[in-house]
Every structure is written in C-alpha cells, then in structure tokens.
A = this chain, B = another copy of it.
Amino acid sequence: VPSQNLRIPGPTPLPDAIREAGTRQMVNHRGPEFKKLLYRLSRDLRTPFGTDGEILILTASGTGGLEAAIVTFLSPGDHVLSVSIGVFGDRLASIATTYGADVVKPAIEWGSAADPDLVRDEIRAMAAASGAPKAVLLTFNETSTGVTNPIADLVAVVHEEAPDALLIVDAISGLGALPFDMEDWGLDVVVTGSQKSWMIPPGLAMVAVSDRAWAAAEQATMPRFYFDLVRHRESLAKGQTPWTPALGLCFQLDVALELIAAEGYERIFARHAACGAATRAGLAALGFDLFADSAHASNTVTSARMPADVEWSPFSAALRERGLVLAGGQGALSGRIFRMGHLGHVKVDDIVAALAVLEDVSPSLGIPIETGVAEAAARKAAERVVGTSSQLSAMAASA
C-alpha cells in the first residue's frame, strides 16, 4: 500500500511510535504486567472524559461500547428518549429498541444539531403520555453528518425536565479531540473508541460510568454477558478484564496516552479546531457546498454535498488514485455527501495536501472548481483559530 492521506473519520493514521508499539510481544493478561498497564490506562483516560471514576476498556469496536451502555443500565420496557441527529444516533436507538426499550425518537433534520427546546418539548410530552424518560440517548459528535451537538445545553434541559433520567452519550468520534467534561455536565455513561482521536487501530471501546448509573445497573434487567460493565468493573478492581483483552491495542493505547500527555489536551483541542476550520474554509474556497449547519460544524469531520451530477464511486476512485482517501455518505446520505476526517494524528498540512488533490482532480471529473485559493483560505482560517501562525507551526511540528 503506497502512502495515503487517510482522511476518513477513523481509523486515523498511526504515528510512528504507535506503529512501533504494534510489535510488542504478548504477556499474560492475568499477570502483573497487564495489571499495571490496565490501571495506568484507566487512570490516564480520566482527564479527557472529565471524571474521577474508573474507565472500562472493552475489546470491541465503538458500537460494542454503545451496546454495553444500553444493556448494563436499562430494562425492557424502559421509556427512552433518543436525540438522534444521524446514522450513529439512529444506531444507538436501534440497540435500545433491540433489547426491548420503548424508544421515542423525534425527527431532526440531518446536518443540524439537536435543539434544546425540542428536547424539552419531547420530555414534557413523554412525561404527560407515559412518564418521564428513564434515559436520554445523546450523540456528542455525529460522525455521519459532521455535526457536534451543544451537549452542555442539551444536558441542562434534561437535568431540569427529567432529573432522574440517565444521560447516555455516544462520544466516540469527539472525545479526546474536543473539550469534554463528563462530571461538570452531569453525564452518566460515556463511550469512545480507539480508532478516533486516540490514534490507534480499531478494536477497543472505552466507557466511563457515573455513580448513579452504577446504582441503576443493579436494577437493570436487559440480558448482558460480554458487554456487562458490572463484570468489567469487578475485574478492573483486580487489574483484569473479564474476557481476554486485545493486548496489542492496550500497548498501543499506552503509547498514545504518552504522546497525548506530551502534547497536552489544550493544544490537541486547538489543533483540531485549526484543522476543522482549515477544512471548512478550504472546501468552501474550492466551491464545495458544506453540509453541516455552520454553527455546529464538527472539528473532527467535515461533510460537504456531492457536486451535481457526480457519483461518489468515480469521485472516490479518482482521489484514491492520487493517494487521498475520503469517506462517503452513510444511510440516507449515501451518494449525497462526502466526508473528510480530521481527527487524531492530523495537522493542517494534511488538510492542505488533501485540498490540493481535490483541486487537481476535480476538473477531470467535471466539477467546477475555484483554483489557486484553497490553500491560502485554509491556512488563514487555521491561523485565525490559533491566533498566530507561529503557534500553529509549533503545533503542526509537534503533531
């Protein structure tokens, strides 16, 4: 495989030190080396989640973490409000429905964030009809549309209107790249996945749980085994996981958390903000029509409408020929949008390189494009976010 500019919203490219960690020899997962490693991972992940509680590490992709977040805390028949703004919000709702929850899912236009007033109205309607929701399902950053929800505002409404409702949050593609504070916001269950801001391959889901969610788990009756977080918590107390963990990924996560600590979360958040701004400005300068509501555009993934009369498949293949790998639309957005990921191991130069390929290739696909302006627009937007270009260079160099 020649070198690619892998600009999908996960898996993200791996830094060299994380690739090197992929060569580590195995150890006993019930022995002292793994115990130390697991405690270190669980401790160091507290900062990005914003919690003092344990972080549980599951061998599964992010969807498995979402299933754990449902089956450990809910019971069949529970009234649940799903605030879905895209494919992954719908997936979380589907998991709850599969296990017998009674899910209310208001329609929200894809490309938009959720409106706190809509959440208020839905909770009041549920309370009037069948009782307040037992849980509210939220998406922090909707990967399929490129929208980041105003999570603090949404949560504030839930705390007012349904103070007992558990707040279950899919933070898979945002946590670690965007400011987040589980305890300050009062969230109960938060899930992320290894192949996103963590810069390692897919295969681990990391989950944090509030005290009141642990209390709810005692009453919850959905069937659970592999994804039973209570078992994971009990095993963690012994420095283990209930089932054999993906050891190689744990070694890589360990190195990732060292790289992250060296850069610092504030700088990481600024780098993502700069890359997000650069992507949006650059695509707009080329003439692409951004899909997500600009007030809530994500700094980890950007969506844009497919140009008129252009099919995703030849568009994607032509870019891939030049080493640029983008993501297409999912579900109802299939063929209607394309997405450029900018999370994890990414710097503004990667965005500029991607824009250059788009600029070069688009004319041959019949896409009318504005030439000679994208790079400057992207760099300017990034600099505006960061403040000065010297800070940005330092950040790019450290990435």
Contact = CB atoms under 8 A, between A and B. Distances in A.
Contact of A23 (B4, B23, B26): B23
A130 interface: no
A316 to B, nearest CB: 8
A361 to B, nearest CB: 17
Contacts of A11: 26-27, 29, 244, 247
A86 interface: no
B59 A59 contact: yes
A6 B24 CA distance: 13
A314 to B, nearest CB: 14
A61 B327 contact: no
A45 to B, nearest CB: 18
Contacts of A246: 61, 201-203, 246, 249
Most chain B CB within a 10 A radius of its CB, from A14, A27, A226, A328: A226
A29 to B, nearest CB: 7
Most chain B CB within a 10 A radius of its CB, from A21, A59, A227: A59
A186 interface: no
A223 B98 contact: yes
A364 interface: no
Interface stretch (A62-70, A118-126, A260-268, A368-376): A62-70
A113 interface: no
Interface string A213-248: 000000000111111000000000000001111111
Interface in A1-34: 1, 3-4, 6, 8, 10-14, 19-33
A82 interface: no
Most chain B CB within a 10 A radius of its CB, from A244, A249, A325: A244
Contact of A225 (B1, B23, B98): B98
A46 interface: no
A362 interface: no
Interface string A188-208: 000001010000011100000
Contacts of A193: 244
B95 A225 contact: yes
A28 B1 contact: no
A13 B247 CA distance: 12
Contacts of A59: 59-61, 64, 202-203
A327 B249 contact: no
Interface in A83-127: 94-95, 98-100
A320 interface: yes
A285 B325 CA distance: 60
B226 A67 contact: yes
A4 B22 contact: no
Contacts of A95: 225-226
B25 A19 contact: yes
A1 B27 contact: yes
B223 A62 contact: no
Interface of A: 1, 3-4, 6, 8, 10-14, 19-33, 59-64, 67, 94-95, 98-100, 193, 195, 201-203, 222-227, 242-249, 252, 320, 325, 327-328
Closest 7 CB pairs of A and B: A22-B22, A203-B246, A201-B248, A11-B26, A63-B243, A19-B23, A61-B243
Given A59-B64, A100-B223, 13 more contacts: A1-B33, A10-B244, A11-B26, A13-B25, A14-B25, A19-B24, A31-B320, A60-B60, A60-B243, A67-B225, A95-B225, A203-B248, A246-B246
